[in-house]
Amino acid sequence: MNTHVHIKDLQELRQVPDHSISIALKVLVVIAVLYTLYFCGSLVLPIFVAGFIALFSSPLTRLIEKSGLPRSLAAAFVISLLIFLMVLACVFLVGPASHWIGRLPELSDKITVATGELASSFDSIKSYLFPVVEVEGAMVSVAESLLVAAFSAVAGTTATFVIQITVVFVIAYFFLVYGDALMRNLLRAQSSFSEKRKTVIIFQTVRDDISHYALVIFLINAGLGMATAGVMFALGVGDPLLWGALAATLNFAPYLGPLFLLVILTGVGFIEYESIGCVLMVPGVYLLLNFFESQFVTPTVLGKRFNMNPLLVVLWMFVWGWVWGVIGILIAIPMLVFFKILAVHIGLVGGWINILDVSPGSSRC
């Protein structure tokens, strides 16, 4: 009897290290994948973005294709439409954005005046950090050198950005045209009919759910953008279309995006108005609109299956912001939704998928 107990204890002692090693290996794999994506961002990120663009625009492509247009032409039309809308947005919004950036010194002056007693402290700190130079020519030369350096950096960044955008849309076009052919080739590689059927169901479900999510979120964010633009116009804030476009775009990054715009609108309120009540009205009205959208509109329209734990959502966005910067933050939520849908249908992480839910009783996808 004692021998059996002793053997059982030895087996349990052997199982504990094996389980720990398995967890450690999984953690190391996750870290390795994140670092690989971080260092290969210039290669991997355009593919990810192009894939999501193709996935989101595939319903429109299929709709145009049903009208009798070849798939290649339908995909070209959709990609051309997206490029046109992006260029149109840049044409109408870059000018107002530059105008408000140019008014930042005015914001600094107004904040300094509003603080009152702290103004002298700010002046002393400024005089200590930036001593007054008697020779104005030296200040002018320094300013010119800074402007030249800034212009060179912006020009280089703009050229890189244009190249990356071009690559993204080219890859998205090929995804739209040849994505289904790739799927059919994957089906041919399956050995049994049941495996082929399961693959088709997973692919169609994931595609339809992601497309539905993308369409609904786009419409909700567009509605929030139009409401924000209308309110800013009613308040007399300059360039209301700019603030509406920012509200719609930044809302793709829940919590962090609206918080960032709230700070921006607070600065806009300082620039536009003198009284503190009017200053706080600008961000306050946007905060009210965002609260109504996030707490009532989105949960009602999408339902519980797309609602996820806010803590994990914020942590997820921070991770992908570290990996890919601002673009990573904007596509983090579609990636999380894609992962959740895929994990549910193929049992990728088992019962661990439930930690993404808002509450233990939340329904699954």
Strand residues in 195-272 grouped as ranges (E): none
What is the mean predicted confidence (pLDDT) over 175-181?
85
Q: What would the mean pLDDT of 299-316 be, rounded to a whole number?
A: 75
- Is the pLDDT score of 192 beyond 60? yes
pLDDT at 230: 94
> In this structure, are residues 284 and 269 in contact, taking their beta carbons and an 8 Å threshold?
no
- pLDDT value of residue 357: 65
Compute the distance between CA of residue 116 and CA of residue 1 in angstroms, rounded to an integer: 85
Give me the pLDDT at residue 358, please: 63
**Beta carbons within 10 angstroms of residue 41's beta carbon:** 16
CB 149 within 8 A of CB 157: no
Q: Between the CA of residue 227 and those of 93, 223, 245, 246, what are the distances in Å?
A: 17, 6, 10, 12
* pLDDT, position 304: 62
As a whole number of angstroms, the distance between CA 99 and CA 93 comes to 10
Strand partners for 357: 308
Give the residue, 316 or 172, on which the prediction is more confident. 172
Q: At what angle do helices 310-346 and 41-66 cross, to 10 degrees?
A: 60
Percent of the chain scoring above 90 in pLDDT: 15
Of 22-36, 40-54, 114-128, 318-332, the least confident: 114-128
In this predicted structure, the answer to whether residue 132 has a pLDDT above a threshold of 80 is no
Of the pLDDT bands very low, low, confident and very high (cuts 50, 70, 90), residue 182 is confident
CA distance 124 to 238: 34
Please provide the average confidence, as pLDDT, over all residues in the chain: 75
pLDDT in tens, 274-306: 788 888 899 999 999 999 998 888 888 876 666
Give the per-residue pLDDT at 135. Answer: 40
Mean pLDDT of 131-136: 45
Residues 6+ apart with CB under 8 A from 223: 293, 297
Residue 300, SS3 per DSSP: helix
Q: Which amino acid is at 45?
A: L
Phi, psi of 361 (to 5 degrees): -95, 5
pLDDT per residue as tens digits for the range 55-76: 888 888 888 888 888 989 999 9
**Considering the chain, what percentage of its residues have pLDDT values greater than 70?**
72
- How far apart are alpha carbons 282 and 273 in whole angstroms? 10
Question: Which one has a higher pLDDT value, 130 or 45?
Answer: 45
